[in-house]
Amino acid sequence: MSIVENLTVESAELDALARRARWHILNTVAMSKAGHIGGPLSATDLLIALYFRQLNIDPTNPSDPDRDRFILSKGHSAIGLYTVLALRGYFPEDELATFDHGDSRLQGHPDMLITPGVDSSTGSLGQGLSAGAGMALAAKRLGKDFHTWVMVGDGEIEEGMVWETVISAPRFHLDNLTLIIDLNGLQQYGWPAAESDRFDRSEPMGHVDLDAVFRGFGWNTLSIDGHDWDAILGAYQTVTEARGVSGKPTVIIANTTKGQGISFTSGTYKWHNGIATSEQLDVARAELVAELAEEGQNR
């Protein structure tokens, strides 16, 4: 294989990276005046652990045919992916400032044709798992041992197309395919929790036993706390051990909090997207990475 060795990054360092990523997410969207917040923040820890501890990738050679693949099917969380790609070295952190500009490589939704490290264009919810299953099947047919990872949102899995692949992937014995469900309990809109709270957007999958459903369709299942490094890294390790052995795809059901990591964005659908005020940026900076203030990142 031509890929570089995985990095050795300790949990404390992962934590610092995640804080930095969360700051970039809030600040970049505020500066560009467009973009999503809650979904990128719920996925941050899962993505940091994936890119810094799990994926077999080489940021200097993003088209390596042997690289592991990652598809952010919940493409509206693009700024979360771009931030992690920048921290991992695919492009400069400074380039994040161009997010969503017309001539930028970092569009509002991921574009595999222009952004280094993006393996599939996404944004129309529901499609990424099918693309990932195709990649995993291709790997089997070509005799390659790269692994394909896909992340979906819990609102996203209301899309029927997701379930076509949930049904078919075990039939092809895709133990080189892993689905991560970012189960943050919120989407953009949803059902009211009570008559008195018409605008609560909670629990799109709250009535579904996802573990049992996936198991029934023939998947390996893991349920974890998606903000606990040991749990995340343990699940990724279990996936690695099952590769080529289990004959089944694996789903990681990651219990997360939408808007995780910043006090005023945490746990509310109101920060699905949004532009932070300068006062809110001050609060977030103090909570996350005070040292960034001196670097003048709040453009």
Residues that bind Mg ion (CB under 5 A): 153-155, 184, 186-187
CB of 73 to ligand TPP, least distance (A): 9
Q: Are 175 and 145 in contact (CB under 8 A)?
A: no
Q: What angle do CA 224, 163, 181 make, to 5 degrees?
A: 20
* Selected range binding ligand TPP among 10-18, 47-55, 185-193, 230-238, rule: CB under 6 A: 185-193
Q: Is 246 in the site for ligand TPP (CB under 6 A)?
A: no
38 binds ligand TPP (CB under 6 A): yes
Backbone φ/ψ region at 259: left (φ over 0), alpha (ψ -120 to 50), beta: left
Helix%, strand%, coil% for the chain, nearest 5: 45, 10, 45
Quick one: which of 100, 156, 175, 203 contacts ligand TPP (CB under 6 A)? 156
Q: Which does 125 bind (CB under 5 to 8 A by kind): Mg ion, ligand TPP, none?
A: ligand TPP
Binding range to ligand TPP, per CB under 6 A, among 9-17, 37-45, 111-119, 240-248 = 37-45
Contacting residue, 186, 253, 276, 288, with ligand TPP by CB under 6 A: 186
Q: Which of residues 57-86 bind ligand TPP (CB under 6 A)?
A: 74, 76-77
Q: By CB under 6 A, is residue 203 in contact with ligand TPP?
A: no
d(CA 137, CA 268): 38
Q: How far apart are CA 4 and CA 290, in angstroms?
A: 33
First to last CA, the chain: 41
Alpha-carbon distance 7 to 24, whole Å? 22
The answer to whether residue 297 forms part of the interface with ligand TPP (CB under 6 A) is: no
> What residue has token string 């809030």?
26
Q: Using CB under 6 A as the criterion, which residues of the chain lie in contact with ligand TPP when the complex forms? A: 38-39, 42, 74, 76-77, 123-126, 153-156, 182, 184, 186-188, 204, 258, 272
